């Protein structure tokens, strides 16, 4: 009987539900959210200027991990890729590049110089994995340009690109090979732009019969969109493109041989009013920040960029080291 009682007791222990042991989630020390940079036209990912900027930002936010986007590992080829190449392919390749960096797996802030800004926006709209928290763009061409940038005398790539563009920015070859042609938006030829452009018209969801709702959802997932315009910018034409402004199309019934160009501001743009890329959602939430830097294009005075980068980059996060979801707790923006 004693043996039988012992056996029954053991069986009871086996069939009873076992208590779940609660293992507390361990948190590592707060650390700055990583930063991804995309350089501008005529620059490369590892130029002296980029390296200096990276060091200044790391000094501002000790412990910050920074990745500088590259198209080609060779610096000269990376600079050339800012002039020549297929932007859609470049953004796709960068999405793979970012996904393979462990330090970025939980998300990052992103900062784009000039054309690097709209390329990062394209990454967010199309991929956003890993996700971007804050996007900051300095002098970017979000509504395109109506003129190609002037060239410095020694800039061979620039002169080659301008010469090629004279053959027509909306030709199939230009749209596949000239980077600036892929965000050239001629207000006098909007129908041609909409049918021929392979990049900007697409990421701006300007083509009525091919609107991608994912773009709006992804962009609206940002914490902050910070748009910086240079007050004396003569490289970005019009300069208001940095704030999603553009030249208005000419009036068809005008009897004047010329018309003064007027600007359509962000909040009157069709893509804003129809919320085609999530810009209206962000703005109505109070999460579109419009900033101005004095000076010409990409004249980054310390008093301009430093407060912006201090506020919107390097927010502290706590990484949940034992959480299978690998999530993070945001402490501040």
Catalytic residues: 114, 233, 297
Q: 164, 151 in Cβ contact below 8 A?
A: no
- Termini Cα distance of the chain: 70
Query: If residue 138 lies in a helix (H) or strand (E), which one and from where to where?
Result: strand 132-138
Q: Is 250 exposed, middle or buried (0-12, 13-18, 19+ CB in 10 A)?
A: middle
H helix count then E strand count, the chain: 13, 11
Burial class (CB in 10 A: 0-12, 13-18, 19+), 307: exposed
Helix (H, G, I), strand (E, B) or coil at 70: coil
Peptide bond into 238 cis (omega under 30): yes
**Bridge partners (DSSP) listed for residue 228:** 138, 291
Answer yes or no: are the C-beta atoms of 121 and 146 closer than 8 Å. Answer: no
Residue 92: Cβ-neighbour burial (10 angstroms; 0-12, 13-18, 19+): middle
Show the tokens assigned to 38: 């995309």
d(CA 120, CA 203): 11
Q: What angle do CA 249, 115, 71 make, to 5 degrees?
A: 140
């Amino acid at each position: 009987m004693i043996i039988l009682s012992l056996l029954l007791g053991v069986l009871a222990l086996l069939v009873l539900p076992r208590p779940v042991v609660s293992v507390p989630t361990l948190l590592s020390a707060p650390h700055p959210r990583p930063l991804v940079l995309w350089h501008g036209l005529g620059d490369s990912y590892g130029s002296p200027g980029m390296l200096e900027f990276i060091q200044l930002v790391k000094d501002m936010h000790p412990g910050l991990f920074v990745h500088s986007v590259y198209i080609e590992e060779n610096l000269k080829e990376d600079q050339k890729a800012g002039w020549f190449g297929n932007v859609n392919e470049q953004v796709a390749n960068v999405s793979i590049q970012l996904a393979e960096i462990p330090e970025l797996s939980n998300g990052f802030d992103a900062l784009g110089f000039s054309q690097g800004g709209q390329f990062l926006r394209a990454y967010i709209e199309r991929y956003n994995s890993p996700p971007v928290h804050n996007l900051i763009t300095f002098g970017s061409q979000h509504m395109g340009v109506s003129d190609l940038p002037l060239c410095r005398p020694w800039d061979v790539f620039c002169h080659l690109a301008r010469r090629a563009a004279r053959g027509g920015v909306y030709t199939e070859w230009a749209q596949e090979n000239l980077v600036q042609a892929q965000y050239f938006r001629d207000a006098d030829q909007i129908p041609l732009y909409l049918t021929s452009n392979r990049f900007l018209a697409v990421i701006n969801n300007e083509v009525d019969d091919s609107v991608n709702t994912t773009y709006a959802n992804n962009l609206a997932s940002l914490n902050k969109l910070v748009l910086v315009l240079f007050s004396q910018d003569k490289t970005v034409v019009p300069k208001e493109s940095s704030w999603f402004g553009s030249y208005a199309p000419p009036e068809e019934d005008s009897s004047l041989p010329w018309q003064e160009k007027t600007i359509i501001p962000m909040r009157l743009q069709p893509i804003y009013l129809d919320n085609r890329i999530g810009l209206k959602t962000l703005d109505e939430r109070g999460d579109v920040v419009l900033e101005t830097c004095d000076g010409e294009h990409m004249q980054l005075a310390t008093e301009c960029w430093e407060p912006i980068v201090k506020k919107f980059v390097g927010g502290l996060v706590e990484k949940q080291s034992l959480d299978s979801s690998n999530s993070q707790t945001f402490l501040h923006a």
